[in-house]
């Protein structure tokens, strides 16, 4: 699924200041990002799912490769796009981790992810907009 950038304010309830990072590749407003291994203060959007991906935060605006980008990290409540898997609802209270194209998705035995956020406002179709509380890059893998 291609990610469509969100509009409006990404962080609905800031708890912690946004971090100043550098974009690796194009990152769209509202995409969840991971830290780049071996690169200082650089974040990227994984193109595909895979184990070991941890949610660092959500992009405050769109940036291209090498540009500075503000990332909302743990302890902030932010808007994002949510993805589900067959039979799993993305509803309030659901834990989510890094999914395709910067979306946050539910985890299951067939789609294990490190938890990185809790859905506060969901109930949306695949790729729809939701609101999450970011809980940090180190969650248990489920």
Closest among 54, 53, 46, 59 to 19, alpha carbons compared = 59
Is 49 in a helix, a strand, or coil? Answer: coil
Can residue 20 be called a binding residue for other proteins (CB under 8 A)? yes
Can residue 30 be called a binding residue for other proteins (CB under 8 A)? no
Name the minimum Å distance from CB 43 to other proteins.
Answer: 10
Q: Which stretch binds other proteins (CB under 8 A): 1-9, 11-19, 99-107, 117-125?
A: 11-19
Can residue 38 be called a binding residue for other proteins (CB under 8 A)? yes
* Cβ contact 19:57 at 8 Å: yes
Q: Which stretch binds other proteins (CB under 8 A): 24-32, 71-79, 87-95, 121-129?
A: 71-79
46, 112, 127, 136: residue in contact with other proteins (rule CB under 8 A): 136
Which residue, 73 or 102, is less far from other proteins as judged by CB?
73
Distance separating alpha carbons of residues 52 and 49, to the nearest angstrom = 9
Distance separating alpha carbons of residues 120 and 130, to the nearest angstrom = 8
Can residue 75 be called a binding residue for other proteins (CB under 8 A)? yes
Q: Which stretch binds other proteins (CB under 8 A): 35-43, 84-92, 100-108, 121-129?
A: 35-43
Distance separating alpha carbons of residues 22 and 113, to the nearest angstrom = 24
Name the minimum Å distance from CB 41 to other proteins.
Answer: 7
Burial of 13-22, coded b for 16+ CB within 10 Å and e otherwise, reads eeeeebeebb
Distance separating alpha carbons of residues 52 and 16, to the nearest angstrom = 25
Binding site for other proteins (CB under 8 A): 15-17, 19-20, 34-41, 52, 54, 73-75, 136-138
């Amino acid at each position: 699924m291609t990610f469509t950038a969100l509009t409006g304010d990404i962080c609905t309830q800031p708890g912690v200041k946004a971090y100043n990072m550098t974009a690796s590749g194009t990152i769209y407003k509202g995409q969840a990002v991971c830290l780049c291994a071996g690169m200082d203060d650089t974040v990227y959007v994984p193109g595909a799912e895979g184990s070991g991906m941890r949610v660092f935060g959500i992009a405050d605006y769109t940036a291209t490769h090498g540009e500075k980008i503000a990332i909302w990290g743990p302890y902030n409540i932010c808007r994002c796009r949510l993805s589900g898997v067959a039979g799993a609802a993305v509803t309030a209270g659901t834990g989510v981790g890094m999914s395709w194209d910067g979306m946050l998705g539910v985890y299951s035995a067939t789609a294990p992810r490190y938890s990185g956020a809790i859905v506060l406002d969901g109930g949306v179709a695949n790729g729809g907009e939701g609101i999450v509380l970011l809980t940090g890059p180190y969650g248990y893998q489920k």
